């Protein structure tokens, strides 16, 4: 080496330092330690790769209720009115049926304080009209019965007259045949007598006597023929009288039935008015009961949407927001569409609520700190507006060691959840995450959200 320094180094010292440096270079302790650490880390990594890893599906959501009646609701008034008195304040706990608000009437048709009594008087009058129409119907029924009885009697008499006229016609017809025969016999005798008179057998007196007899018989024939015509006319008149009697009866019956129909129509109209008045009386009674707006169920008055005294509110307008007491809590988590086919009802969920610090190990949920257990209860069959599917999670009832959900939870607070799936090796989970594959299941889910109907 070059001697660039003015001081000289003893050769023995130089050789000692050179030997010590040589020994240190030949014995690399740090490298061995590093190699041992790397080998240990590699073995530990290989062991970790074959450890079981619980796959999870992450989702975010809010705290809600399982039953619709437990969710915040708006209390509405059924009728329009004017605010007269508020019986509650915001944040107050009310029971079912407690008075929230008192209103007064604003429609002029309900201003009369004695309106129910007036309507009952009208109802009494209409009921009397119904009774009068019922009496008229009964009277017309009796009139119809009397008409039928009178008709039967008159029809019997008219039929008897027709029968008598028919018998007279038959008798007169027989008499006409007899006198006609007598007349023909008289004509034959007169001819014989005239022949005998020519032969001198009979006298002129006998001829004249026979001629007189012939004229008498001819007169009898004419009289009997006229009598038969009179009998036939009497029969025709009896038949006409019978027809007129039936026509008159039908006219009287038609008039009576018309009166009865009018009475029935009037009674039906009166009964309809009676029903309408009863309905109106009931509506008035119910409407007067609606002047007081009551709490539909027990809960807290969150906010009053109307304020002041004397303010007019419309029919069906919201007046306050009510949060039901002791709701059945549930968490609604939203997961991706690619993950929802892997989730079944009954899957365990770990939940982290806003305001409660927690540490969640996704692959080892048993070592999580500050999380709470849950169970998937409902899986929506259609996606929500954000393209994700909603899950309803109830508190887990299977693990007694799991803590109950905090009593200080408020509806609408944020929740972060992990749906726990099956166990896989760590190396498989790393490979799945690197390739972007969905989680895997040991068996195909048996639950079908929608059953499709087979087409023929």
Residue 396 falls inside a structural domain: yes
Residue 351 falls inside a structural domain: yes
User: In the chain, how many domains are there?
Assistant: 3
Lowest model confidence (mean pLDDT) among 15-19, 57-61, 305-309, 382-386: 15-19
| Res. 210: pLDDT tops 80 | no
Q: Which of 66-75, 131-140, 182-191 has the highest mean pLDDT?
A: 66-75
- pLDDT (0 to 100) of residue 132: 86
How far apart, in whole angstroms, are the C-alpha atoms of residue 310 and residue 347? 55
| Cα R_g (the chain), whole angstroms | 60
Percentage of the chain lying above the pLDDT 70 cut? 85
379 and 364 Cβ atoms separated by less than 8 Å:
no
Question: Which CATH number goes with the domain that contains 428?
Answer: 2.40.30.170
- pLDDT (0 to 100) of residue 320: 92
- pLDDT (0 to 100) of residue 335: 92
- List the domain range (segments joined by +) for residue 303: 73-104+291-323
Same domain, 196 and 157: yes
Beta-carbon contacts of residue 433 (< 8 Å; ≥ 6 apart): none
Same domain, 167 and 312: no
Cβ atoms < 10 Å from Cβ of 319? 19
How far apart, in whole angstroms, are the C-alpha atoms of residue 212 and residue 85? 128
DSSP, res 134: H
Sheet holding 81-86, edge to edge: 292-294, 99-104, 81-86, 312-313
Residue 277 falls inside a structural domain: yes
31-58: average pLDDT: 81
Same domain, 194 and 65: no
At residue 438, what are phi and psi to the nearest 5 degrees?
Answer: -75, 165
| Res. 289: pLDDT tops 90 | no
Same domain, 156 and 179: yes
Residue 159 falls inside a structural domain: yes
Q: Which of 334-338, 394-398, 402-406 has the highest mean pLDDT?
A: 334-338
Same domain, 139 and 187: yes
| Res. 454: pLDDT tops 50 | no
Residue 1 falls inside a structural domain: no
- pLDDT (0 to 100) of residue 258: 84
Residue 7 falls inside a structural domain: no
Same domain, 131 and 280: yes
21 versus 271: the higher-pLDDT residue is 271
Same domain, 316 and 349: no
323 versus 450: the higher-pLDDT residue is 323
Same domain, 219 and 295: no
Nearest Cα to Cα of residue 322 among 304, 309, 348: 304
- pLDDT (0 to 100) of residue 439: 76
| Res. 448: pLDDT tops 70 | no
- pLDDT (0 to 100) of residue 16: 67
Question: Which CATH number goes with the domain that contains 273?
Answer: 1.10.287.620
Q: Which of 12-26, 202-216, 254-268 has the highest mean pLDDT?
A: 254-268
Burial of 320 (0-12, 13-18, 19+ CB in 10 A): buried
209-222: average pLDDT: 78
The beta-carbon contacts of 401-404 under 8 Å, at least 24 apart in sequence, are 402/372, 402/373, 403/372, 403/373, 404/372
pLDDT level of residue 60 (50, 70, 90 thresholds): very high
The encoded tokens of residue 91 equal: 């944040």
165-180: average pLDDT: 81
The encoded tokens of residue 306 equal: 């109307």
Same domain, 303 and 414: no
Question: Which CATH number goes with the domain that contains 77?
Answer: 2.40.50.100
Q: How many CA atoms lie within 13 A of 320 on its CB side?
A: 27
Residue 227 falls inside a structural domain: yes
303-324: average pLDDT: 89
Domain ends where: 303, 323, 343?
323
| Res. 1: pLDDT tops 50 | no
Lowest model confidence (mean pLDDT) among 185-194, 230-239, 257-266: 185-194
- Chain-centre distance for alpha carbon 114: 37
How far apart, in whole angstroms, are the C-alpha atoms of residue 185 and residue 181? 6
Same domain, 94 and 132: no
82-106: average pLDDT: 91
The pTM (predicted TM-score) of the whole model is 0.59
Give the residues across from 335 on adjacent strands: 389
Same domain, 267 and 309: no
Beta-carbon contacts of residue 58 (< 8 Å; ≥ 6 apart): 335, 362, 416, 417, 418, 419
Helical spans, DSSP H, in 200-336: 204-289
| Res. 322: pLDDT tops 60 | yes
Mean pLDDT of the chain: 81
Same domain, 305 and 246: no
Residue 390 falls inside a structural domain: yes
| Res. 437: pLDDT tops 80 | no
Nearest Cα to Cα of residue 378 among 64, 149, 95: 64
157 and 305 Cβ atoms separated by less than 8 Å:
no
392 and 68 Cβ atoms separated by less than 8 Å:
no
């Amino acid at each position: 080496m070059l001697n660039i320094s003015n001081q000289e180094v003893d050769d023995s010292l130089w050789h000692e330092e050179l030997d010590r440096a040589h020994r240190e270079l030949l014995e690399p302790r740090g490298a061995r330690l590093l190699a041992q650490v790397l080998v240990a880390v590699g073995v530990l990594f290989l062991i970790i790769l074959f450890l079981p890893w619980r796959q999870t599906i992450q989702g975010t959501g809010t705290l809600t209720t399982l039953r619709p009646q437990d969710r915040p609701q708006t209390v509405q008034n059924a009728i329009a009115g004017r605010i007269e008195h508020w019986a509650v304040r915001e944040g107050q706990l009310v029971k079912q049926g407690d008075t929230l608000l008192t209103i007064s009437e604003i429609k002029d048709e309900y201003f009369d304080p004695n309106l129910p009594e007036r309507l009952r008087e009208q109802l009494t009058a209409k009921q009397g009209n119904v009774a009068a129409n019922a009496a008229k119907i009964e009277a017309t029924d009796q009139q119809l019965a009397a008409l039928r009885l009178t008709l039967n009697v008159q029809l019997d008499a008219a039929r008897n007259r027709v029968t008598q006229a028919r018998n007279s016609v038959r008798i007169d017809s027989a008499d006409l045949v007899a006198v006609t025969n007598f007349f023909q016999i008289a004509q034959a005798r007169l001819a014989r007598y005239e022949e005998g008179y020519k032969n001198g057998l009979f006298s002129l007196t006998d001829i004249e006597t026979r001629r007189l007899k012939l004229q008498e018989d001819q007169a009898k024939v004419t009289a009997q023929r006229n009598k038969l015509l009179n009998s036939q006319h009497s029969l025709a008149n009896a038949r006409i009288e019978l027809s007129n009697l039936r026509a008159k009866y039908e006219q009287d019956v038609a008039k009576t039935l018309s009166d009865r129909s009018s009475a029935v129509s009037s009674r039906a109209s009166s009964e309809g008015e009676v029903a309408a008045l009863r309905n109106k009386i009931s509506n008035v009674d119910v409407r007067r009961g609606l002047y007081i707006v009551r709490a539909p169920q027990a809960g807290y008055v969150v906010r009053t949407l109307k304020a002041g005294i004397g303010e007019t509110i419309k029919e069906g307008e919201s007046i306050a927001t009510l949060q039901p007491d002791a709701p059945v809590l549930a968490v609604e988590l939203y997961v991706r569409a690619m993950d929802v086919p892997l989730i079944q009802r009954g899957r365990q969920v770990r939940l982290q609520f806003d305001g409660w610090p927690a540490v969640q190990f996704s692959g080892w949920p048993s070592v999580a700190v500050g999380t709470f257990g849950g169970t998937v209860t409902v899986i929506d069959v259609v996606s929500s507006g954000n393209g994700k599917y909603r899950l309803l999670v109830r508190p887990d009832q299977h693990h007694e060691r799991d803590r109950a959900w905090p009593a200080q939870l408020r509806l609408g607070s944020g929740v972060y959840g992990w749906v726990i799936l099956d166990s896989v090796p760590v190396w498989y989970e790393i490979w799945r995450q690197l390739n972007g594959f969905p989680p895997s299941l040991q068996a195909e889910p048996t639950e079908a959200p929608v059953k499709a109907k087979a087409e023929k």
